[in-house]
Amino acid sequence: MGKLGECWDDCCYKWDEWKYCLLCVGIVAAVILFAVLLAAFGFVRHLDVSVDDASLTRFELATTPPALTSLSYNLSLTLVIRNPNWAMGLKNTKPLEAQYKFDDQAFDRFQLADKGAKHPRGKTRVYHLSPAGTTRAVMLGNAGEAEFRKENATGVFEVEVAVVGEVRYTARYTKCKVEASCPLKLQLAPPGTTAVVFQKVKCKLTKPEKNC
Ligand SMILES: *[C@@H]1O[C@H](CO)[C@@H](O)[C@H](O)[C@H]1NC(C)=O
Ligand SMILES: *[C@@H]1O[C@H](CO)[C@@H](O)[C@H](O)[C@H]1NC(C)=O
């Protein structure tokens, strides 16, 4: 501290000693550079994931003896992922995927971005998922089928959209898992009926690992 104080004094009062002055400026610049680098790359701000729109026009369960259970559904939604970091972009180290789940059982999966794809700093990516209506085999079990019948009676289905992937941020070594869960409550609105307005759902990210 004494040295630095001396240095300041030299800076402010002995202008002729330009060497000290230069040293002072150098130290201050290094401190500022370090602070900026720390703010830019020292801490990861986690992705912002939300479902901004969704519409469900069909959701039907068929149980065909002896053991096949299938879900036929028409669901389209808009998934929004934002990278809030102002300095760090990210790169997928595994494909980024959206999974549809009913009663904790995945019944469909979609690739949002390939392995190696990048998501620049500060940018928002919007994914519209609107597959043609499909039928998928699903393992719901007794409990899941009971849950389906319960929700079927109300006309409101609880479908979870999970976003899973793995990314690496610019200038960082660790790979970070991405796991977000978006619990949706979808009012079934077959064609010809008026759908209730969908309220944007913010997705919950699982607690990040160390260094992520
Ligand atoms: C579901 O999608 C299929 C194929 O896209 C379409 O033929 C059908 O009319 C849709 N059904 C409902 C209820 O939206
Ligand atoms: C769901 O409800 C519809 C009518 O509301 C009914 O026709 C259908 O059989 C029900 N499905 C199941 C699996 O209970």
DSSP 10-61: HHHH-TT-HHHHHHHHHHHHHHHHHHHHHHHHSSPPPPEEEEEEEEEEEEEE
- Domain presence at residue 211: no
More confident residue, 188 or 5: 188
Name the range with the highest mean pLDDT among 42-51, 130-139, 159-168, 187-196: 159-168
Same domain, yes or no: 52 and 26: no
Average pLDDT, the chain: 88
Lowest pLDDT segment from 20-29, 157-166, 169-178, 183-192? 20-29
Spell out which residues line ligand 2, taking CB within 6 angstroms: 61, 149, 152
Smallest CA-to-CA distance from 80 within 56, 53, 113 is with 53
More confident residue, 16 or 178: 178
Q: Assign 133 a pLDDT band (cuts: 50, 70, 90).
A: confident
Tell me if residue 148 falls in helix, strand or coil.
helix
Same domain, yes or no: 62 and 133: yes
CA 81 to ligand 2 center in whole angstroms: 35
* Percent of the chain's residues with pLDDT above 90: 58
Same domain, yes or no: 37 and 52: no
Same domain, yes or no: 37 and 71: no
Decide: 116 in ligand 1 pocket, CB within 6 A.
no
Q: Note down the domain range covering 94.
A: 48-205
Q: Assign 40 a pLDDT band (cuts: 50, 70, 90).
A: confident
Same domain, yes or no: 62 and 152: yes
Q: Assign 13 a pLDDT band (cuts: 50, 70, 90).
A: low
CA 188 to ligand 2 center in whole angstroms: 12
> Computed over its alpha carbons, how large is the radius of gyration of the chain?
26
Residue 49 has a CB neighbour count (10 Å cut-off) of: 22
* Percent of the chain's residues with pLDDT above 70: 92
Could you say which ligand is closest to the alpha carbon of residue 133?
A: 1
Same domain, yes or no: 192 and 107: yes
Report the atom number in ligand 1 closest to the C-alpha of 58.
13
Same domain, yes or no: 91 and 65: yes
Residue 62 has pLDDT above 80, yes or no: yes
- Domain presence at residue 210: no
Report the atom number in ligand 2 closest to the C-alpha of 63.
13
Could you say which ligand is closest to the alpha carbon of residue 157?
A: 2
Q: Angle at Cα 159 formed by Cα 154 and Cα 161, nearest 5°?
A: 165
Q: Assign 8 a pLDDT band (cuts: 50, 70, 90).
A: low
Domain count, the chain: 2
Same domain, yes or no: 78 and 31: no
Q: What are phi and psi of 181, to 5 degrees?
A: -125, 125
Same domain, yes or no: 34 and 59: no
Distance CA 130, CA 76 (A): 4
User: Which pLDDT value is given to residue 196?
Assistant: 81
Q: What is the CATH number of the domain that holds 57?
A: 2.60.40
Same domain, yes or no: 20 and 104: no
Q: For residue range 82-132, what is the model confidence (pLDDT) as tens digits?
A: 999 999 999 999 999 999 999 999 999 999 999 999 999 999 999 999 888
CA 95 to ligand 2 center in whole angstroms: 36
Residue 171 has pLDDT above 80, yes or no: yes
User: Which pLDDT value is given to residue 172?
Assistant: 86
Could you say which ligand is closest to the alpha carbon of residue 76?
A: 1
- Domain presence at residue 212: no
Q: Are 87 and 170 in contact (CB under 8 A)?
A: yes
Same domain, yes or no: 70 and 114: yes
Residue 84 has a CB neighbour count (10 Å cut-off) of: 14
